[in-house]
Structure 1
Amino acid sequence: MSESAAGEDWQAWVGRKETIRERIAPDRVAALGATLGLEGNYAAGAALPPGWHWIFFNRFVPRHELGTDGHPRRGGFLPPVSLPRRMWAGGRLTYHKPLTIGGEGVRESTILKVEAKSGRAGRLVFVTVSHSVACDGTTCLTEEQDIVYREAAAPGSSAPTATPAPQDATWSEEFHPDTVLLFRYSSLTSNGHRIHYDQAYAQSEENYPDLVVHGPLTATLLQGFAERRAGKPLKSFEFRGVSPLFVSSPFRLEGRGDGRALDLWASGPSGGLAMRAAAEV
């Protein structure tokens, strides 16, 4: 049984399920394409690019149900972990077939496990959630998400030393984030977390130097990067966030591969590793 040092126990949440139904609306898909500056066929009947399903199946909760960080208050589908900081740490995706733009989507979610651990940042709680996403009655992708809750950083504390990114990339692209991009992506994903658009909050409350680039946004960019370089659709993709990226600095999407298996990463302006990923095509 996973139990925190404070005596909290969330095993009753293991096995909890949630189902959300939503049309894969073409106008929303086109809005993400415009946000990322990517041209494509976003009309009904076309295939949804990998990672773009994250703009769907997100509950937009009433204002009075939000916490001070902009996330929905604790409890509900996810366990009411009392640790104040929450982030999406990584995940694993298997693509069976593309979702169809304009189709009727269904996401069925299950909490697989809840584990309490200790790390450099103090107490941590990991929640693993599985998702199965179907479109017009056919399962299109399965996914596991790792969500981590942690203690707040001490005011004025320095960030951990960055892990160096690999230096032997075969492919590399530079990406320039900006505040409008982060704002629009937050809106499209129903993500109210203030670290992505409220600079004063990000700096004074969560001890970041600037607005934080969304982890799922970086993972989406890496998936598109992988497909462009491989010239084939993705079969699987897994990723792990290592350190944050910030709106004030460009970052690089990089990788190498043998035509089927791809090793991918995102690196910050000083060469630090921000996200590590692997894909198969």
Structure 2
Amino acid sequence: MTMSFRCSKTLHPIYNRRLYTSLHSSDARALDEWIAPPKQLVLSDSFTIERISDLYLTLPTRDGTKTVYNPPELSAPLPYGSHLTFFHPRNSESKLRADGTDADFCPPPPLTRRMWAGGRMTWNSRNPLRIGESAVSTSTVQSVEKKGFDKGTPMAFVKQRIEITASGQREPSVVEERSHVYIADTAVGSRVPRDVKGIPSKTDFSFTFTPSPITLFRFSALTFNGHHIHLDKDYAQSKEGYPERLVHGPLTALMLLETTMLHKPNAKLAQFDYRARNPVIVNQRMTINGVWNGDHRAFLWAVNDEGVVGMTGEVELGID
């Protein structure tokens, strides 16, 4: 993989909480200076059958436990959303932030605590990514929105646009919008789950599993992600105030797509919008539910046994 770096919807933090901190004028200036220049991150990667096999054995929809295990096949289309485990920066440990995250596309201190907020994926059915092939991902910072600076609750919402183009092709196979929220490392607040409105009372399909510490470790390894919030129980509890380690946002988003395809295996997806609502906690059973809205749209949500909704999404099928 090679790398070079050059300088929708409104998304909100995934917990209903107030964050109290202070931001000095020098910090605000540093953020403005970081926002000003254009930024681009170019990464190349290969969808090797070995890495896809590792992903299949990580996902409870594919590992053979609840369904028959079907190994990946060369030249087959890359499963929807699987690109999330590729195209990650490769930095030495010395270049990571204190919480184990990469600094690429991250605002300057003190806004260093990162939360995955949501995004959108659009697929080009004429030119799918395929197992065994290579591709290039080009990411740009599409927008940076500052919130709460006048209230002592500073946050920066960073939205990326990512175009993934197969080798030898000119037209992107996948276009993604990805949003992160950054808050101050010193921010504190209550961990009260947000009540999510508009959840359907019925389901047309579902899939239940329990994300374990091994699931989180394997997904972190696949994505070369050292974020302590997924791996270190003491850090999650003492530093960030969570009851346990958190499940990766992209893993939950991928499970929404996986559940859709498990129940409609021949579907051709056109677009997927998703939004993180509450943290998803390790060792807590989670059910992915879906309800069809007509023939070509489905509303999806991930919910635990206590009724806390971790993520919602909407998938749109292509029309042949």
TM-score w.r.t. length of structure 2: 0.80
Aligned to 2:240: 206
Q: Is the 8 A contact 1:126 1:147 kept in 2?
A: yes
Q: Is the 8 A contact 1:93 1:143 kept in 2?
A: yes
Partner AA of 2:202 in structure 1: D
Aligned to 2:179: 146
Aligned residues: 274
Aligned to 2:297: 261
Q: Is the 8 A contact 1:227 1:234 kept in 2?
A: no
Aligned to 1:134: 165
- 1:158/1:236 CA distance change after superposition, 3 Å: closer
Q: Secondary structure of 1:185's partner? A: helix
2:97 aligned with 1:45: no
Partner AA of 1:266 in structure 2: A
Q: Is the 8 A contact 2:194 2:278 kept in 1?
A: no
Q: Secondary structure of 2:174's partner? A: strand
Q: Which whole-Å CA distance do the structure 2 matches of 1:23 and 1:41 have between them? A: 18
Q: Secondary structure of 1:35's partner? A: coil
Q: Which moved more, 1:141-150 or 1:37-46?
A: 37-46
Q: Secondary structure of 1:61's partner? A: coil
Q: Which whole-Å CA distance do the structure 1 matches of 2:204 and 2:290 have between them? A: 6
Q: Shift of residue 64 of structure 1?
A: 0.8
Q: Shift of residue 16 of structure 1?
A: 1.4
Aligned to 1:194: 228
Q: Is the 8 A contact 2:287 2:302 kept in 1?
A: yes
The match for 2:156 among 122, 125, 129 is 125
How big is each residue's C-alpha offset from its partner over 1:13-41, in whole Å with a ceiling of 9 and x where there is no partner?
Answer: 4x311211111111001100011141334
Q: Which whole-Å CA distance do the structure 2 matches of 1:112 and 1:149 have between them? A: 16
Q: Secondary structure of 1:235's partner? A: strand
Aligned to 1:90: 118
Partner AA of 1:249 in structure 2: Q
Aligned to 2:18: none
Q: Is the 8 A contact 2:137 2:163 kept in 1?
A: yes
Q: Which whole-Å CA distance do the structure 1 matches of 2:295 and 2:157 have between them? A: 34
- Structure 2 segments unaligned to the other structure (5+ residues): 1-22, 63-68
How big is each residue's C-alpha offset from its partner over 1:110-138, in whole Å with a ceiling of 9 and x where there is no partner?
Answer: 11111101299922100110000011233
Q: Which whole-Å CA distance do the structure 2 matches of 1:40 and 1:81 have between them? A: 45
The match for 2:282 among 247, 250, 264 is 247
Q: Shift of residue 43 of structure 1?
A: 2.8
Q: Is the 8 A contact 1:121 1:150 kept in 2?
A: no
- Structure 1 segments unaligned to the other structure (5+ residues): none
Q: Shift of residue 153 of structure 1?
A: 4.5
- 1:93/1:161 CA distance change after superposition, 3 Å: closer
The percentage of counterpart residues that share the same residue type is 34
Partner AA of 1:149 in structure 2: Y
Partner AA of 1:200 in structure 2: D
Partner AA of 1:260 in structure 2: H
Q: Is the 8 A contact 1:81 1:149 kept in 2?
A: no
Aligned to 1:23: 46
Q: Which whole-Å CA distance do the structure 2 matches of 1:214 and 1:223 have between them? A: 15
Q: Shift of residue 95 of structure 1?
A: 0.6
Q: Is the 8 A contact 2:107 2:182 kept in 1?
A: no
Q: Shift of residue 47 of structure 1?
A: 1.3
User: RMSD between aligned alpha carbons?
Assistant: 2.1
